[in-house]
Structure 1
């Protein structure tokens, strides 16, 4: 296993831990508020670390790459994550997990068109196994009541969020390959927080951001931000830096399976036969991807 593959899998696991920690936050914080607070906390922690590491030896970055990284933060975090949280509230985790399956095909398509990336036979087999496994573990429960209006709106938000995430990572892939990982992460986070602040300043958004501070489990928010947002973001970008975008995207899909496993072990939620088969298929697919070799 190369460092890129290891970081992509680590990102999926960290994101799943963050979701477990933050599963109650949506009941107390609106999507935009939650996104701003989480990224603001990570920025406050990451900025001093990066400044200390690069003091006296600042990386040089072309203006074009700088603008791409900042734009990637606005698109992939400020917009996409906010839409994702909104869709999660509308659809629930199960149906949002199914929509999330579109992420890796979109990255594969964009990587093929813009990065000239190709997958070998073993990677394609692994992709198919991972997709089947994630579909099994994240398929919504039958008979769940739903509001058609909420469902259609949630699907639209979810599809747009996943598309924006795919575009945002592919657009900085080449910059990631040539620039320090933490430096790119910090700049991308600055773009995200700036975008979130601008959105929050809109008159139509102020009412939607209100919350009751005493109702918020702040310790859970801090842990969710540091693990599910900060650590997973560094590992996520590192996966794309050290391996192809196509392979990293497929391995990122395992986050849904890590989430199901953690929920069973940590929260004692039943896994079921379908979940067990899905987990086995997904990890079989991961093995195929790691054993094969992608051709950039």
Structure 2
């Protein structure tokens, strides 16, 4: 999976597909996360995702890339480079999955999918700034107005996504609003830093499926250690139900096994800044799904924002 990329298709386009998997998975995630608790839900999600990814890596033989097979590595500086890349994957798993994902679902439990999506979408801004500072990337030509349209459209679509005077359980606030906002910003920052750390790791030529498996295992190891401490917040908050486990499995398959592997493939060949921005369209893709789920049509302001985001995507990928 790590070969050359076809020139007719921008590699960053895979980030849009990843955003679609995240949007769909959030429908399975909201109710199960609320009943199980953010820590327990994320831990179970990682278990399912890690099993799926390692199964795929073993079945396809892609796990060999972690040992440097087929990369011209295995000894000396080349072999050391592969191990450094694996170390970056572990660091990314701790920051992006253990911290970022857990904070995201804790935020979702407090603010609902739409408003947590608005806060999480700020990861695109963090990614662009950090990519410019640490990777030397910059937006050139049509990419700059495209990025402005995309980020502005995503923010507008979510901010105006709820019709005035219409309420739904998925839009209610649980607990303190400030705590929910802080968790949302933390999740965005975790996603951004985790993405930036992945760029040099994937440049080493690691297979995206095997790399995703390493990240997932690292994130789960942190959760397992936290669970072993006996902290109440790390425990399942209500008795486990088969329905919740089924939703968690579906969420893990779509968002983590498929979605994050697509992100890694995009980072292997594309710009980290563009990948970060294009993956932020997930909340826009969530709008029609929430309409279907709740029966509440988004406002016209949301559709205008969505149109801006689509135009921004076209300019970035054009």
Aligned to 2:282: 255
Task: Provide the rounded CA distance (Å) in 1 between the counterparts of 2:231 and 2:200.
Answer: 37
Whether 1:118 aligns to 2:138 is yes
Q: Counterpart of 1:107 in 2: which secondary structure?
A: helix
Whether 1:64 aligns to 2:84 is yes
Alignment of 1:259-278 (within 5 A): 259-265=286-292, 268-278=295-305
Aligned to 1:46: 53
Distance change (3 Å), C-alpha of 1:153 and 1:266: closer
Task: Provide the rounded CA distance (Å) in 1 between the counterparts of 2:175 and 2:29.
Answer: 26
Whether 1:19 aligns to 2:26 is yes
CA contact (8 A) 1:28 1:215 kept: no
Aligned to 2:41: 34
Task: Provide the rounded CA distance (Å) in 2 between the counterparts of 1:139 and 1:146.
Answer: 15
Please state how far the C-alpha of 1:270 moved relative to its aligned partner.
0.6
Whether 1:85 aligns to 2:111 is no
Name which of 161, 173, 176 aligns with 1:150. 176
Distance change (3 Å), C-alpha of 1:266 and 1:86: closer
Where in structure 1 are there 5+ consecutive unaligned residues?
A: 292-296
Task: Provide the rounded CA distance (Å) in 2 between the counterparts of 1:45 and 1:94.
Answer: 28
CA contact (8 A) 1:18 1:229 kept: no
Alignment of 1:193-272 (within 5 A): 193-205=220-232, 208-214=235-241, 216-265=243-292, 268-272=295-299
Aligned to 2:311: 284
CA contact (8 A) 2:45 2:248 kept: yes
Distance change (3 Å), C-alpha of 1:149 and 1:42: closer
Task: Provide the rounded CA distance (Å) in 2 between the counterparts of 1:148 and 1:52.
Answer: 43
Normalising by the residue count of structure 1, what TM-score does the alignment of the two structures yield? 0.89
Aligned to 2:212: 185
Task: Provide the rounded CA distance (Å) in 2 between the counterparts of 1:147 and 1:286.
Answer: 31
Aligned to 1:173: 199
Task: Provide the rounded CA distance (Å) in 1 between the counterparts of 2:64 and 2:91.
Answer: 24
Distance change (3 Å), C-alpha of 1:103 and 1:207: closer
Please state how far the C-alpha of 1:203 moved relative to its aligned partner.
2.4
Give the stretch that moved more between structures: 143-152 or 181-190. 143-152
